A and B are shown apart, each in its own frame.
Chain A
């Protein structure tokens, strides 16, 4: 680890001001510190936002505003979240461990980096870590890698859970930076790798996430299904976030998002269009899966994610639509 200076900002404005002189934001530190130990991130200056006002949650006319510093544990335990956006609570609780969730924050979770083993291993070529170096994962051990949204330069997933639920819930990421405040729909927040996988999201240098806003509750049946190699404390192989409303035995409204399937949290309106207005059935779920996965490309060890995603979609929609009928 390289020696670094640590500054504590006491307000969001202070943090933004400090960031104009360079430096990296630290929130819970559960990802950044690991990266610093391996010198994958080696900032000279680290600006902590833990003493700022960004840890607040507030309900207003537009929905629920979750401060960037709200911990995953607090967010998942919040009664408003559990009642009106249970999908978010379920997704958060499916992630990491209680210790990590106590520490991990809303902003940090959105910005967590991939778990691609080649990214974390500095003896291996990685375009995300070292642009232009090549991608060792492509023809390596790529069991956990993406089958959607990949490029020649990178096939890594965004590995998290929270953002997948937020995507299904149409959340908006609120930021402030040198060019003023921005409201970024979460669907536009994470970047596909294209030919520049080094940038995971659209944040500009010096731009700070201040909050995430959830729009008004949908009242739908909400489920988060995380499929993984062990029962807990593992990243998803594939996860599915569902928010569905049934009307007279038919799917009236539906939001579906997938984690660890694509390079970014994945939502495809065409899949939802297949479902809306239809009676749930095995055949319908298969049809939706076909639309979802029509461009999916496996690279060997991750081929199974394609049938697995179809199966997870069917299982989750089956459960949600049954519950919705009841």
Chain B
């Protein structure tokens, strides 16, 4: 179906249709329909399909940081048992594809851009044979003529203003800093992060004549089809991707990665299906990283603690020629006041794997630093940190003057504070000691932009009174199956048991894909609109407008008239495609989801270990489509916040740029013992500008600022302000007070 102008979301849909529906399942904490399959191991993930004649490919990674492949000693390896091919095709990709690019990333694996870049693929009958051969493959290189540095802080690193990020300037920040009653000027840094999704990147490629079928683990299939087609110089129409279950992506599967292209090429060459699964280490070494950042925050406040100036400048990094630059200041643009401002991001060109989107690009690291700096300002101004935030919420976006579509930040701050017992917080550090532990509390705001991506979905109301929802939208573990079913069930007046949702196949209408917290509102709106079209037809049959139709449990009514859907349909299925595209409402309003984090931590007085003891998040993100899956997203985000605050850090060796901690043993994501019982408060909100659903994105909100609350709690506990994330104990112990001296 072609998109028409009518699909554009130009004016807020104030009808708020979902609230007028009668089925009563929208928002309910329904279980995910695919949950039992997943926990019993019967949901088939991409690497698990059994295809006749399928052989195994293993990627070979460069053991130099930069240079050119001169010789591949294929012959030694081809003679090994089971080995079928050694490929270094020029169509193979050397970088990960940026999300929504829809194009091939840098190809030609002869050129090595970064340490551990894939340079070849070895295919064998069995995985073990392929792996042994891949380890045995000898490759010779020529050095790089003009090497790029490994360290973004190196004097040799070229620093650019990224093409798609223009600085925000207003008034005179320097003057505001001089005029301020209270001013903060601080440098923070955050390390690189890995997505560390549970399911590694994996693809099985199969050719049927000139048609390519990929079973793989990707987030945005409509884009991925174009990307793989561009890599192989074939028509996107010849590509089908099947990805009904995706074991997490967090940005690392937005675009096509190395294994998919290599598998497709090998399958063509061998005339057999080829499976390529990256090892855990390879995932760490080759897919998108989140850039490390250095951030300077300047806050200038008047005597009442109101911001008159705000500066947020960041240095991030990426490989040369990559457009993506971690948009660190994205939420700073609209969160707080201060008309005198300077926000900008610069990118240093360095030699490490591609930097790209990792869950909540921008806000994840930008908010935690801004919120830590706000804590410093609160202390300086002698204000409660909650109060400081409340005083600084502008009526309109500074400089731009755009109104907010909705913002429940004050409510989040108040409810979160009540939940954690913020009134028990001591205003100054080192006041509470329990045994060997200093105890403290911290707060941070949460904010994450709301994004819509063009999406389509088909809904079929079957003659038997059941409904089918179909789109290529992926469910990356977030609950998409559940919420799309709930939207259709609510709109069509069907219990959830009568709605089936089929996802993750590009032979279906193109959904938005998963990423940027946009999947639910974009594809959900398309589902809603398809249902509206069906309701219109049903209304006609019953003799009324679609909106006036009441349907409950398959029984349609209008006034006195009543008729079951089965009778109305009279043996005919009714299918409609709904679609939506972001339009003027995204220009007319500043759209974001908001919230607040409250954390209580313990800091060990001797060893500086930090443990989160309690944590509350309160969030407003428009309509809650499913209270269980939304809560789970918030919980997961807060767990990421704990990792970002305390443990997660990509460690690079500055001599060759290789990643030292390239597995889950040494890249420390939080484990159960690091995560206390977390409280999540979901605020009821409706936002007509954000989507016809009245919903905004929630998938990433729970991380955006969370680490700041923890860092602030650490300061409140023990008086140590660490301006370098993560707050590992080595950074804390030099500044701890004497552990043997208890508070007065």
A interface residues (Cβ-Cβ under 8 A, vs B): 1-3, 37, 39, 115, 117-118, 121-124, 136, 139-141, 143-144, 227-235, 237, 282, 304, 307-308, 311-312, 314-315, 318-319
Contact = CB atoms under 8 A, between A and B. Distances in A.
Given A117-B660, A141-B653, A311-B606, A230 B647 contact: yes
Q: Is the interface of B mostly helix, strand, loop or mixed?
A: loop
A227 B116 CA distance: 32
Contacts of B673: 230-233
17 contacts: A2-B132, A39-B132, A39-B135, A121-B662, A140-B660, A227-B607, A229-B646, A229-B647, A230-B670, A230-B671, A230-B674, A231-B673, A232-B671, A234-B668, A304-B730, A304-B734, A315-B604
B420 to A, nearest CB: 20
Contact of A123 (B131, B658, B666, B668): B658
A233 B673 CA distance: 9
B253 interface: no
The 5 closest A-B pairs by CB, nearest first: A231-B673, A304-B730, A315-B606, A232-B673, A123-B63
Interface in B612-663: 646-647, 651-653, 655, 658, 660-662
B730 A308 contact: yes
B271 interface: no
Contacts of B730: 143, 304, 308
A176 B116 CA distance: 44
A232 B661 CA distance: 17
A1 to B, nearest CB: 5
Interface string B661-700: 1100110101111100000000000000000000000000
Contacts of A231: 611, 671, 673-674
B606 A314 contact: yes
A230 B135 contact: no
A136 B611 CA distance: 33
A48 to B, nearest CB: 19
B655 A140 contact: yes
Interface in B706-744: 728-730, 733-734, 739-740
Contacts of A2: 132
A71 B138 CA distance: 41
B132 A311 contact: no
Contacts of B63: 123
B384 interface: no
Contacts of A315: 436, 604-607, 739
B729 A227 contact: yes
Contact of A311 (B116, B135, B607, B660): B607
Contacts, number: 98
B128 interface: yes
Contacts of B733: 304, 307-308, 311
Given A140-B655, A230-B647, A314-B739, 15 more contacts: A115-B665, A117-B662, A123-B115, A227-B609, A228-B609, A229-B646, A230-B671, A230-B674, A232-B674, A234-B665, A235-B665, A304-B729, A308-B608, A311-B607, A312-B606
B607 A124 contact: no
Nearest to B81: A3
Contacts of A229: 646-647, 668, 728-729
A230 B668 CA distance: 7
Contact of A312 (B135, B607, B740): B607
B120 to A, nearest CB: 15
B663 to A, nearest CB: 8
Nearest to B670: A230
A304 B45 CA distance: 44
Nearest to B642: A230
Contacts of B606: 311-312, 314-315
Contacts of A304: 729-730, 733-734
Contacts of A312: 606-607
Nearest to A234: B668
Given A115-B665, A304-B733, A232 B655 contact: no
A304 B666 CA distance: 18
Contacts of B670: 230
Contacts of A232: 671-674
A296 B674 CA distance: 31
Contacts of B116: 123
A281 B158 CA distance: 55
Interface centre among A118, A311, A314 (most CB of B within 10 A): A311
A229 B642 CA distance: 12
Nearest to B676: A231
A37 B604 CA distance: 39
B135 A122 contact: yes
Contacts of A308: 607-608, 729-730, 733
Interface in B122-171: 128, 131-132, 135
B614 to A, nearest CB: 15
A304 B607 CA distance: 11
A214 B351 CA distance: 53
A275 B609 CA distance: 26
Contacts of A237: 729
B572 to A, nearest CB: 55
Nearest to A319: B436
A117 B666 contact: yes
A311 B739 contact: yes
Contacts of B655: 139-140
A116 B608 CA distance: 24
B496 to A, nearest CB: 36
A299 to B, nearest CB: 14
Contacts of A122: 135
A229 B729 CA distance: 7
Contacts of A136: 653
A320 to B, nearest CB: 13
Contacts of B605: 315
Contacts of B734: 304, 307
B607 A141 contact: no
A282 B609 contact: no
A117 B728 contact: no
Contacts of B604: 315
A121 B663 CA distance: 11
